[in-house]
Structure 1
């Protein structure tokens, strides 16, 4: 009987995590101005990161700086976020003929940007509680 109680206590945390739904709040800082909107994509895997739509995408008018955007009902796990300041409100991340970004951008965990976007693993973070908060500092060239 004691063995069953111990095994039940070991299994319960794992089953509780399977039914877990958390909230992620992303604070976007470093906005150059309040023109346009901010678009943010949430990824649960490396597939398509960072340029595709991802698991969820939100665009929001800039009402304050820093700007907070929230994702709800997230299962526990690793996620990564890509964000850009869509200054001209066209819904796309604009770059010049040489591929240099013309709009501000950022990624979760604020990895150093060299010659290309970071890998999913460089931007990944864990959502494991009811409320997770991260901060992204936008970069402009």
Structure 2
């Protein structure tokens, strides 16, 4: 092998290595009451879960009682999901004058919040190199 061929192979291996570590996450949302609007879903690492940016996410059009999406490219590790059903498709999670959500919402592991979002410890789950599956009941 020539020196240039070795360098090209090494660079190719470096480019493929991150892809080999990326894992898929399949999220299924069950018990959707209104077959209209959009499920707005964010996947967070621990640093972003309490108000930071999502590391991945999706908007899923709703036309049945169940909706699914597979997200690609997540590194193995711990994550949490926050989602809400934007029934009126206005792009916002609607709330009462007292700040209580008026549109359905849920968290990974079907974790429940008390006077706010579910805690990281209750919502976190592991994505391995093989990926992960989360089934979330929207109620």
Q: Runs of 4 or more off by more than 2 Å in structure 1?
A: 16-19, 49-53
RMSD (CA atoms): 2.1
Other-structure match for 2:129: 129
| Number of residue equivalences | 123
- Distance in 2 (CA, whole Å) between partners of 1:37 and 1:18 is 30
User: What stretches of structure 2 of length at least 5 have no aligned partner?
Assistant: 1-16
User: What stretches of structure 1 of length at least 5 have no aligned partner?
Assistant: 1-15
Q: Any conservation in 2 of the 1:38–1:84 contact (CA below 8 Å)?
A: yes
TM-score (norm 1): 0.78
Tell me the alpha carbon deviations over residues 65-98 of structure 1, each in whole angstroms, 9 at most, x when there is no partner.
3111111011110010001000010111111111
Question: 1:130/1:116 Cα in 2 relative to 1: closer, same or farther (>3 Å)?
Answer: same
Other-structure match for 1:9: none
- Distance in 1 (CA, whole Å) between partners of 2:65 and 2:21 is 31
Higher percent of residues as helix:
2
Question: 1:60/1:85 Cα in 2 relative to 1: closer, same or farther (>3 Å)?
Answer: same
Match of 1:109, SS? Answer: helix
Match of 1:121, SS? Answer: helix
